[in-house]
A and B are shown apart, each in its own frame.
Chain A
Amino acid sequence: MYGAVLSLVVWSVASLQITPGRFLSGLGYGYELIESMLPPETGSANTARLVDRMIETIAMAMVATVGGIAISLPVAFGAAGNLSPRPVYYLSRGIISVTRAIDGLIVAIIAVIALGFGPLAGIVAISFKTIGFFSKLFAEDLEDIDMGGVEAVRATGATRFQSVAYGVVPQVVPRFAGLAVYRWDINIRSSTIVGIVGAGGLGVLLQRAYQRYMYDYVATILIAIILVVLIAEFVSALVRRRVQ
């Protein structure tokens, strides 16, 4: 085991040709980079643009979370082994695997090509990534429910819909709320960067500033990204503590 890991590491380091010289000279450029980032840009036009994109970032995350969860719900029920027939189960698990494996930025690039630049492509990409995450975790919660109540409701002559509404839903509501907020937090993070490939939000500004070598503005945008992410994380932790 240790031998295998060690040889993997040696092989990797050797192939990547990372030498101390290259590394150190890079650090020298790093010093220059940091110098050109300071002080961060605070001009009013650029700040206004920044605020605009911040709101766009949050709005994209909102729409993508709601849209993504709406699509995730049937997939999650389909992927819950105790509630769904076998063929639907395997199909749903397949959808989850594929949506999880492809990185969000790759999805965003493809969405930009199909739908053009702008927030719509970002929303589609973030919704797509929401499916894999949300369906997988929510399906696990659905599989953990107590089936006794569901059986009893079914035995009274309730319809399938009513059995779910009375037997299943009450058991998973808190977990659903917690997961939704957690995913919203992750979606805000994604929403800050999909713009790098043209899919709207703060990333668009970052990409432009970077290409024009406006490193001081890059610094401002990075601070804005960190702020947005921190606030989202704080709100998400707060809400999750309340619902669970």
Chain B
Amino acid sequence: MLETENLGKTYSTGDEALRDVSVTIDGREVVAMIGPSGAGKSTFVRCINRLVEPTTGRVLLDDRELTGLDDDGLRNARRNIGMVFQEYNLVERLTVMENVLSGRLGYVSNWAALRRNFPPEDVERAYELLGLVGLDGMEDKRVDELSGGQRQRVGIARAVVQEPKIVLADEPTSSLDPETSRDVMDLLTDIAVDRDVPVLINIHEVDLAEKYADRIIGLHDGALVFDGPAADLTDESKGIIYRGDEPPKSGRPVGSSEPTDAGTTDRRADREPLPAED
């Protein structure tokens, strides 16, 4: 179970990318985080495993607080968080297998890592995952020989081989064509069910989010403005997420099932929300 409490990030430039975001993600749900570019989606995902250091708030994974851990503690915690990236973030001059096995680096010694000496179970799991993502027999290819879709499959295998307690995906489809995007989303949602882990996908294509996600989180200007089942995402809520329309008087993020103060700041009542166009 992943919880964030009032997570906030202000960059050294003074840019307030994230303010007071509190969410809880559990079970095997697929959560899509949507919002316009610059809304803080990437910052949020990176604050969870502290690739970006949050300035305020807490992150808890299975009740263990990640914020405030020292380097060793953080490394151990990161082993439980798989991450998939927009630009795949593979090491291009390494082979497919080396990239997948790099997901196990947190469990092997520096010396073993240098010698590419991984335990047989890890190797077996890596082969199995390569089969699952449809890259059978490609293990010794160098990544720079692969297509974008194949690279993202390697990225997914690398995240899953970690045996994580949660998978984070940062815009996993935005460098891919529509068909490949759907394949990748299928893979990510299958993983949630098969591995019994929650998957948090930050994505800008709303149609993909609605089609694949169980639950949708909307960010606008760094603040949480929507949190609810995908079915509850109305045109009105899209307007709030994408154009910053004022939420209705309830004072809570639209669709939110529990009280939170996010999205309520600077609220001016009695303004009609504009119709959504997305």
Q: Which A residues are within 8 Å of any B CB, using their own CB? A: 146, 148-149, 151-159, 161-162, 165-167, 170-171, 173
Contacts and interface: CB of A to CB of B under 8 A. Distances in A.
B36 to A, nearest CB: 23
Given A157-B77, A158-B75, A165-B110, A149 B105 contact: no
Nearest to A166: B102
Nearest to B85: A152
Interface in B68-95: 75-83, 85, 87-94
Q: Give 9 nearest A-B pairs by CB, closest first.
A: A157-B106, A157-B79, A148-B89, A157-B78, A152-B89, A158-B105, A149-B91, A170-B93, A155-B83
A152 B114 contact: no
Nearest to A145: B91
A171 B92 CA distance: 8
A170 B94 contact: yes
B269 interface: no
Contacts of B81: 155
Nearest to B80: A157
Nearest to B50: A155
Contact of B91 (A155, A159, A171): A171
A173 B93 contact: yes
B113 A165 contact: yes
B89 A158 contact: no
Contact of B110 (A146, A152, A159): A159
B274 to A, nearest CB: 38
Contacts of B90: 148-149, 152
B49 interface: yes
Contacts of A159: 75, 105, 110
A36 B3 CA distance: 89
A166 B113 contact: yes
Contacts of B162: 156-157
B67 to A, nearest CB: 16
A66 to B, nearest CB: 20
Given A149-B90, A152-B158, A161-B110, 5 more contacts: A152-B83, A152-B90, A156-B82, A156-B83, A173-B93
A156 B110 CA distance: 14
A153 B102 contact: yes
B51 A154 contact: yes
Nearest to B91: A149
21 contacts: A148-B87, A148-B88, A149-B89, A149-B90, A152-B155, A152-B158, A153-B105, A154-B78, A155-B49, A155-B78, A155-B81, A156-B78, A156-B83, A156-B102, A156-B106, A157-B78, A158-B106, A158-B113, A161-B113, A162-B105, A162-B110
A226 to B, nearest CB: 39
A159 B109 CA distance: 9
Contact of A156 (B88, B98, B103): B103
A158 B74 CA distance: 10
A170 B106 contact: no
A157 B89 contact: no
Nearest to B49: A155
A237 B73 CA distance: 48
A28 B220 CA distance: 85
A180 B83 CA distance: 36
Contacts of B51: 151, 154-155
Interface in B33-64: 49, 51
A158 to B, nearest CB: 4
B91 to A, nearest CB: 4
A149 B91 CA distance: 5
B83 to A, nearest CB: 5
Contacts of B114: 165
